[in-house]
A and B are shown apart, each in its own frame.
Chain A
Amino acid sequence: MEITLPFLGDLVATAFSYWWLILIATTIGITIGAIPGFGAQNTIIMLLPFTLAVEIDMALTFMVALYVASHMGSGIPAVLLNIPGTGGAAATTIDGYPMAKKGKAQQALVLTFVASTVGGTITATLALFLLPYLSRVAYYLHSVEMVVIMLFGIILIALIAAKDTLKGLIAGFFGLLIGAIGTDHIYSTPRGTFGFLELYDGMPLIPALIGLFAISEALVMLEKTSVLSEGGRARMLNSGWSESLEGIRMALARWWHIVWTSIIGLVIGAVPGAGASIAAFVAYQQSRLFSKTPEAYGTGHPEAVMAPEAANNGVGSGSLIPLLVIGVPGGSTAAVMLVVLTYHGVQLGPQLFTTRPELAYGVFATMLVSYLLMLFTILPLTRYLSRIVLISTTVLAPVIVVFTLVGAFAPRAYVFDMGLALVMGIIGFVARKTGYHVVAILIGIILGPILEANFMRAMRISGNDATVFFSSPVAIGLWAMLAFSLVAPFIMSRLRRGNGQDEEGRQA
């Protein structure tokens, strides 16, 4: 079906008519997104009695708004407390938290919200108009291609390790080792589970994330009375609305950066099984690659805060495409949405766009309206939210530990997961105190199992022929881009040095 302006207008108007519901859903979404362990999937399951009882339009609006808001909310604790609300915001901590420590929490929050909103809006619009093409992405990105895409994320370990290569690589490989815990992807043979049933399904991400980031950060916090540096505290105390306006200006000045990193999220999201974590790490890595100031990454660089946020919100649009167009959920939240849609008698797949176009395209119109409403409701809150960093660590640390331990328990209801979070917290604390990067460990834990699953699958399909990884034009193109990503930093740094010498020569 062709999208006409009147049709689009109708869609947006219909979505707007549910503004009150979107406000409720986005408030819930932002809140649960900001608390590790309470993701969109769990919340939609808990609220199934509501979504099954109401009309399909209302149910879908509620679920979509909640889903996109959870992506937005996950960046808040990542920036303020170095604790990502979900795996998709883990990359945001790398530069978001250093900004907060410098007293720029308000700015950093504005950057994440604007990047999320603009990125989400752009990708939802692109999805509306390019749906037939985006739905083909899954036809070209199979296990072989996904292996290469994972490697883009994995090389971020090496970039993070730039300051101390050996320690960075040790942390990354340690993460990969932890990621290998669980039953293998082909024969379900348990590996490294130490007999714990709770580890058969692999290292659970939320307890690992909570331990490595939240618990270890709480322990580090207790060494000082404030998370802020002295200069940062003074800046925070004097900050006013001008900080938010400055954040908006900085974000809009880098609009193109938001556009292309959100498109990375959209494309990766359109592949069933890929997720926000992968997209955010790949976007961070690509952002650094093409940055004029890569050395500033990791120290609180605005672009480094925006890239992962734009990407993980771009995933929101992308991940619903396989569900709507193929009828196969691209992720766990989409799987729960499928239950609701099926209950309401919605037949998914290509026919949905001819039988219920208002529903199929309405998903993206709802996203557009949700982002718009969220921007106006959440931006004014940045000034107050950012004040969290002013709270004494003697209060903050115990609150973080209690809340996040509940979050560790919530997804699977295993007491074991709370213990696991504590163990990972100690590992994270030791890593921080000895100069190992916890993000590198987490990249290994998140990407390792997905990389392995795709690698094993590709090898099995090809009959263990390793040349399969170069068997498609898309894979070859991706390999070339990966090679460029690895070589480019050296070339660019050499060029910059050369230019610097020329400059010095001219000045001399």
Chain B
Amino acid sequence: MTKHAKSITRRSFLNSSAAVAGAGALGLGTASPAFAQEFPSRDFSVVIPTGEGGGVDRAARAFTRVWSDIIGANFEFGYYPGASGQVGYELYLNRRDADVYNLLFGNIAPEMIMYATQNPDFQYPEDFLYLAGIDVDDSVIWVAQNSKFETIQDLIEEGQSRTITLSTSRLPHPSTIGALLLAEETGMDVRMIPYGGGSAARSAAVTGEVDGCATFMSSSLSLSDQIRFLGVFTGRNRVPGMTNEAPPLNEALGLDMPALQGQRTWALQRAAYEEYPERVDTLLTTLQEVFDAPEYKDAVKQAGTPWEFIEYTDAEACQESAQTIIDLARRYQDVLSG
């Protein structure tokens, strides 16, 4: 893997890269129509840094079901979980050709926390860039339906006299940072319990092994008759009707915490960006067309995700999200990485 000179600051690179991506999105690239028609000439290979069957997998499948028709090529998935996403990212950046046929589909927040806390063998944004986000998934806190905690205030009150245990899929997760911020702001004592996967974390909270669960909202919606949402770590609750009208935590508690959410996002090696701007242009143009396709709405519904979560995020906004979460993760590095 190429490591770039440290003289390039992350902020300056981030801005220039976002500009490249933005230009591509606007069709200002130098691609000739003939060249663009040659791409794609074969299937895409997608590295997913988490296991099959999870939220990222489902979102990727729903998206590519429509995208493959628009772009005219299929997408083949490879799952490389491990070390909170580090395995998938390192594999993608070190062992996949930078030819735009190899893509990565991940989740910005958890994976940037991994980047900030685990010292992986790659540099962001020097080695890769996030191309476009396809959805947002807000962090939430919930408890089992039979829990004695009716509101977030109940949980905080109890947390001021004893330690509250919250399950999470892994420590490098925006929900973990959310819970830690909440504890800091309210004086409650929280201990995060990582279960190595979202399913196990949710199961632990439903079956009462821990007091509650801090996770993404979308994966918890299917449990709605077994759990009670206590609050959302963003400015608004996108689906109040599906989450027992759980309030935004800032609003309920008068706090000013940053929005903590996941963004499922396509990413690309930086070398691919620079080498094949025409291909990147084709990718971005066709990718945006997916959001307007009526079939995508059906695919999203079939994946079990409410349409309210679907939101296109451009490259620049993705890089900003990434930088924000990196800064937050570094603040809590001791807790997140032991």
Contact = CB atoms under 8 A, between A and B. Distances in A.
Max chain A C-beta neighbours (<10 A), residue from B54, B91, B200, B336 = B200
A138 B202 CA distance: 12
Interface in A174-197: 182-183, 185-190, 197
A328 B194 contact: no
B52 A188 contact: no
A127 to B, nearest CB: 18
A326 B203 contact: yes
B226 A200 contact: no
Contact of B86 (A41, A188, A335, A350): A188
A185 B81 CA distance: 14
A200 B303 CA distance: 30
B337 A187 contact: yes
B324 interface: no
A345 B298 CA distance: 11
B196 A200 contact: no
Contacts of A142: 204, 207, 209
A118 B172 CA distance: 45
B53 interface: yes
A348 B222 contact: yes
Interface in B208-225: 208-210, 222-223, 225
A182 B78 CA distance: 20
B302 A344 contact: yes
Given A201-B83, A272-B200, A332-B52, A461 B210 contact: yes
A188 B172 contact: yes
A335 B54 contact: yes
A413 interface: yes
Contacts of A453: 196
Contacts of B303: 342-343
Interface string B228-255: 0000000000000000000000000000
B206 A328 contact: yes
Nearest to B58: A339
Contacts of B337: 187-189
B46 to A, nearest CB: 13
Interface string B295-338: 00000011110000000000000000000000000000000111
Interface in B167-184: 170-172
B206 A457 contact: no
Given A328-B199, A332-B51, A342 B304 contact: yes
Contacts of A457: 193-195
Nearest to B84: A188
A197 B87 contact: yes
B122 to A, nearest CB: 11
B90 A197 contact: yes
Given A327-B222, A457-B193, A343 B302 contact: yes
Given A349-B223, A351-B225, A413-B78, A335 B194 contact: no
B86 A200 contact: yes
Contact of A272 (B90, B171, B191, B203): B203
A335 B199 contact: yes
B285 interface: no
B278 interface: no
Contact of A327 (B80, B207, B226): B226
Contacts of A202: 82
Interface in B47-75: 51-54, 57-58, 61
B53 A336 contact: yes
Interface in B106-145: 114, 118
Interface in A206-240: none
Max chain B C-beta neighbours (<10 A), residue from A182, A350, A461 = A461
B170 A188 contact: yes
10 contacts: A189-B338, A197-B87, A200-B86, A201-B87, A272-B199, A335-B51, A335-B52, A335-B54, A342-B303, A349-B225
Interface of B: 51-54, 57-58, 61, 78, 80-84, 86-87, 90-91, 94, 114, 118, 163, 165, 170-172, 191, 193-196, 199-200, 202-204, 206-210, 222-223, 225-226, 301-304, 336-338
Given A322-B203, A328-B202, A342-B58, 19 more contacts: A138-B207, A139-B207, A142-B207, A143-B209, A183-B84, A186-B171, A186-B194, A187-B336, A201-B81, A272-B203, A273-B203, A326-B203, A328-B203, A332-B52, A335-B51, A336-B53, A339-B52, A349-B222, A350-B225
